[in-house]
Chain A
């Protein structure tokens, strides 16, 4: 029986038989189904994915007519990160003219709302100049990154140090205080950028520091939508599951800790988010088939209940993509095609 080229979640090349690929697809999907209490993939979807992983082509794409739009995080960072020494406006022009980007995001290299707050008035003229010379919709983006509000980087006692000492109440109070300050920073920076003409604000890696981080993004979205009813807010998540660092935080009566994408999107809708970017994390020890089936199972459940556009995160280490700075085309194109065609996404 023939073997087919594939990869593990860390990008290492492997070969698998058809039987092994199918076994991984089922196992990956059932893992997601069990964790999220959602339905696994159907037989037709397994067959579709098997066919995709047994195609000998290096690159695959969606069928004509099924294309979606792409939004990005940290776009201007990524050009400079590979050592191409252009300024940020030039980086945006590279994306819009050469990379086929449908939208773009201006960001600062210190990609969090807290450090941007004191220099926001330096960011605004760059955004305004970019808006004069570019054509595609332009977001301004950053992360809530609640960890920055804990000592030694921030003003509040560090919950990671308090929790092992059994100081649960103190850790929770510290996180609650951090939420309040984070909301102020996100609303301050978001407001300035919107008033400078940004087409939208991207709140990226939401939930990275757990339930308090998610709450900060939800409350900030509410406040920005109240101030600017027409503002577009994109909320990109950090992980598939909201960690209960606080454990008891709620939004609109629902406890945040333990939520999966199909539950997260409903709260994002209630807060006023325009575009939701869910995440499913890649397991570096499992095959691409396992990871993709698992990711699609989570995302399909999210898309089925979403009333707002869903743009699944498919960068490094998420959405079935391998954990590499420059993921291989064979894995990324399969993940891209399958995610769009099975989940009927609004974007990536």
Chain B
């Protein structure tokens, strides 16, 4: 069922920019249109391109914000989230805690 919804209506998560739009919605309480426009602006892409996995894979690789296939040397996990916080201009809780502990 999760997969059906993801295919029928979802933004595709890390395949595209779904997780980034979700982060902004959660951090700022933004409605979907607003959240998409914000993320598109920060990534310098159009709103339509946010769900294109080919374009977003390139953007995500260039910005180091995490891709589906973890190539050697490419930021992953918490590393990618440090970059996400910077790119999106939001505070990410686990990044804040990581900094405080290290």
Contact = CB atoms under 8 A, between A and B. Distances in A.
A309 interface: yes
Contacts of A275: 25-26
Most buried by A among B15, B29, B65: B29
Question: For the complex, would chain A's binding face be called helix, strand, loop or mixed by DSSP majority?
Answer: loop
Interface residues of A, number: 62
Interface string A94-132: 011101111100000000000000000000000010011
Nearest to B66: A135
Contacts of B13: 70, 96, 99-102, 136
A70 B25 CA distance: 11
Nearest to B75: A135
B45 to A, nearest CB: 13
B93 A199 contact: yes
A101 B2 contact: yes
Interface string A305-323: 0001100001110000100
Given A65-B47, A69-B25, A332-B4, A133 B18 contact: no
B19 A337 contact: no
Given A102-B19, A309-B25, A197 B97 contact: yes
Nearest to A132: B78
B19 A103 contact: yes
Interface of A: 59-62, 64-72, 75, 78, 95-97, 99-103, 128, 131-138, 194-200, 230, 232, 274-275, 308-309, 314-316, 321, 326-327, 329, 332-333, 336-337, 339-340, 345-348
